[in-house]
Structure formats: C-alpha cells, structure tokens
Amino acid sequence: MKKFIIAITGASGVCYAIRLFDFLKPGFELHVICSERGAELLSIESGLTPAYFAGDNSTVHKNSRMNSSIASGSFSCDGMVVIPASMGTVGRIANGISSSLVERAADVMLKERNKLIIVPRETPLSAIHLKNFLALDQAGAVILPACPGFYYGPKSVDDIVDFVVAKVLDQLDVEHDLAGPYRP
C-alpha cells in the first residue's frame, strides 16, 4: 500500500486537502499534519477538526511532535503534499528551516529525493515568494498552484476543486477520473 503525507498549513483552501484526503483514504496509508493556523482554517472553512483525518488507514500527527516517524529519513513514503501551502511554510521549507513537523517532513522528502508537492493558494506573489518557489523547484519539489482550468466546463465549485486535486493525483501517479474531459 502506498503511503502519502498530507500537510495542511495556514493558507485558505482547505477544501483541496479535504478532497485529496477523501479520494486517497480508501486505498492508501495516509499521514496528516495540520499546522496550528491550518487547523484554525480547517475549522473556519469547513467546520472540521484535524480528528476528521484519523481512521483505519490514516494517522494524524501533531505539528509540534518533531520525533514523529514521518520526521525521519528511514520512514518510507511515496510522496508528500503541502495543501494548501502558506507562504510562511513555503519560505521555511525553501530555506531549510525545520521548526515544525510539517517543515521537517518536507525537508526529509527533499533530502531523500522523494516527491514533494507544494500547492500554494496565495495571490499576488512577491519576488520573495517567487525566489522561494525557485529554490524549492531547484531542490526537487513540484510547485503546483491551486489554479483551476475552465476548458472542461466545470458546473460547480466541487468540479473546480477536483481539477486541482486531479493535478496533484497526476503528480503522485495515482489513477483517477476527477477532472472532466478536455473540450477544445
């Protein structure tokens, strides 16, 4: 069974993390981390708490618990997604600052040359943000902004969320049928 880490940080857009989790939950081992601000936004935007992510195939890790299994290079993992990724988290990961479990797990993914996907949901971007994205790209991360396409004719907000989540699943090499067909 493939293992993935999902990190929710303090940017708006927790709907993306929830949809990704719900899609992966039935067939994958999941490890979820919520930053403190991520947990706050989870409650504000969805009415959920991090406990939502606990279950048979999933474990919720405290962001303050730096000795968690996922903070070690010996933890075998198929990928990590920071979704949504706050610019503060992006900056700390890009600069090798591991002051929380989210940042340490991302650092481990980079050092072990495993898949790290960063899904920012911030706009506009400053030169500092762009430099941090470049540093992460050069370190091997995938920068996948939450920028939905509209060429497939979405009919609802759920369709728009699915488009972004489908792009994440493509990067994780997970088969899906979330995004609508291409309509030229």
Does some domain include residue 182?
no
86 contact partners, CB below 8 Å, separation of at least 6: 9, 10, 11, 35, 37, 38, 120, 122
Residue 100, pLDDT score: 98
Select from 34, 84, 90, 28 the least CA-distant residue to 62.
34
Q: Quote the pLDDT of residue 181.
A: 65
Q: What would the mean pLDDT of 109-136 be, rounded to a whole number?
A: 97
Q: Are 63 and 50 in contact (CB under 8 A)?
A: no
| Pairing of the two strands 29-34 and 58-62 | parallel
Res 124: pLDDT: 96
At 68-100, the pLDDT tens digits run 999 999 999 999 999 999 999 999 999 999 999
State the Cα–Cα distance between residues 86 and 91, nearest whole angstrom.
9
What's residue 179's pLDDT? 80
Q: pTM score > 0.75 for this model?
A: yes
180 within domain boundaries: no
Domain containing residue 55? 3-171
**How many Cβ atoms are within 10 Å of 125's Cβ, its own excluded?**
13
Number of domains composing the chain:
1
The enclosing domain of 136 has a CATH number of 3.40.50.1950
Judge whether 181 lies within some domain: no
